Homo-oligomer: A and B are copies of this chain.
Amino acid sequence: MTEIAKLTPIIKLIHKALETDQYGQAAALFLRLRPADRADVFEYLNEDDRGSLLNHLDIATTADLFDELDDQQTVEAAESISVERLADVLDEMEPDEAADLLGDLSPERAEQAITEMEEAKDVLHLLDYPDETAGGRMTTAFVSLNTLTTADQAIQHLRQLSPDNDVPYYLFVLDIDEKMVGVVGLRDLVIAKPHTPIHEIMDTDIISITPLTDQEQAARTMTHYDLSVLPVLDENSHLVGIITHDDILDVIEAEATEDIYRLASVADNDLQPDSGTIEQLRGRLPWLLLNTLTALFASWIISIFGDLFVKVAILAFFQSVVAGQGGSAASQNVAMIVRAIALGKIENKRIIPILIKQLWVGLLQGSIIGIIIGLGVGLWQQNPYLGLILGLALIGNMLVAAIVGTLMPLLFQAIGQDPAMTSSVLVTAATDSLGFLIFLSLARVFLPLILQYLA
């Protein structure tokens, strides 16, 4: 997937240069790479190499590198340089990235760095907002104009900003009370007559959010209206920050990871296959322990029918088939509902038709699989009534799966919980317990008939 193979030769060259104390040479090689590739290369160097390279990069390059690295890598790198250097780098970083980094550092080190920073104000302001809100994602690096500026003056202003800053594609227009009243795209500026005042070319149809809007909602708004930048306004319509389209990609990927992890009962969204043992246990064990409880509950249900196994041991061969098929069907249901909710495709008025459709599909799937397994096992075990109760139990458990798999995520959504929290553990707890209950109850009812066919 990644293109690290292409980068291997340069990684070797940089490593060699660092080993032989040719730090300038190593830094020069590093600088030739594109910023995103620098992050990849940096991650592949060993700890010693990283440390010596970091001390020989200029502040701007280090800031770019910190912007590109993963959160954890950035923290490690930030811990390995002097506080003075760190403060300079933080001043140079995008304010939102700097705020994120400060939030991830140890409180002491963050405080030291803030004391040394020259432009701490903007960044400190961002630290006030919770991580997963628009305020936590936004940057304060935007350009604002007043309504009477002309197109030509705006362009002059942008020329002055460059090359210290990237020129933004959108400029925000504030009235005399500093309230945001419009937005002007670079393209409108370019094609406007030079003396046109901004208020004549600005777009006054402002789509905005508040600092405490959830980041997922912000992402939805941006994708829905195809925006590449979304202004964040406080209660007085003052522009406090902007969210840009690259933030949205991060949010969407993070939300997809969260859904996939929760559906698979992994509680920690940052968990990686090679994360530390403590993190692994913290992220995975709680759901498995819950699974332990529900599994023992299912065992207890089976134990109610304990005497049956002495008389008809073959019941023990097939009880898991009923439970397993129900669990698989329920997982399919949950995945569809969770995804439909995430993509904004479910409305309240559609719940009843969906449930009816899913019950119907459950009935059909249960019947098809019930007939196949019923016939198959009936012939294999030479016991038509065993086949019959297996088939009936499968149909019953498929209906259970349709109800639980459809309604449980919707219920979680309704009570303000993440529908993906429904996860396989909770839903299969229901299909397991009820699957065993239905199958073994039928076995009890049909016991005399099943026994007839046993040798």
Contact = CB atoms under 8 A, between A and B. Distances in A.
Most chain-B Cβ atoms within 10 A of its Cβ — which of A155, A350, A361?
Answer: A361
Contact of A273 (B189, B329, B357): B357
Contacts of A451: none
Contacts of A319: 316, 320
Contacts of A361: 277, 280-281, 284
A306 B299 contact: no
Contact of A272 (B158, B308, B340, B436): B340
Q: Which of A315, A321, A344, A436 counts the most chain B CB atoms within 10 A?
A: A321
Nearest to A207: B34
A265 B331 contact: yes
A437 interface: no
Contacts of A226: 36, 246
Contact of A296 (B291, B310, B321, B345): B321
A260 B257 contact: no
A84 B266 CA distance: 54
A404 interface: no
A273 B320 contact: no
Interface residues of A, number: 119
Contacts of A428: 324
Interface string A1-12: 110100000000
A200 to B, nearest CB: 15
A339 B261 contact: yes
Given A340-B273, A347-B2, A285 B358 contact: no
Contact of A343 (B253, B316, B353): B253
A260 B313 contact: no
Contacts of A340: 272-273
How many copies of the polypeptide does the oligomer hold? 2
A437 to B, nearest CB: 13
A276 to B, nearest CB: 9
B324 A432 contact: yes
Interface in A278-334: 280-281, 284-285, 287-289, 291-292, 295-296, 298-300, 302-303, 306-310, 313-321, 323-325, 328-329, 331-334
A271 B317 CA distance: 34
A249 interface: yes
Given A4-B347, A328-B291, A353-B274, A252 B256 contact: yes
A273 B337 CA distance: 6
B273 A302 contact: no
A296 B345 CA distance: 37
B344 A2 contact: yes
Contacts of A310: 309-310, 313
A306 B295 CA distance: 22
Contact of A266 (B167, B169, B248, B335): B335
Please provide the 7 A-B residue pairs with the shortest distance between their CB atoms, ordered closest to farther: A264-B335, A256-B256, A316-B316, A309-B313, A167-B187, A1-B344, A2-B344
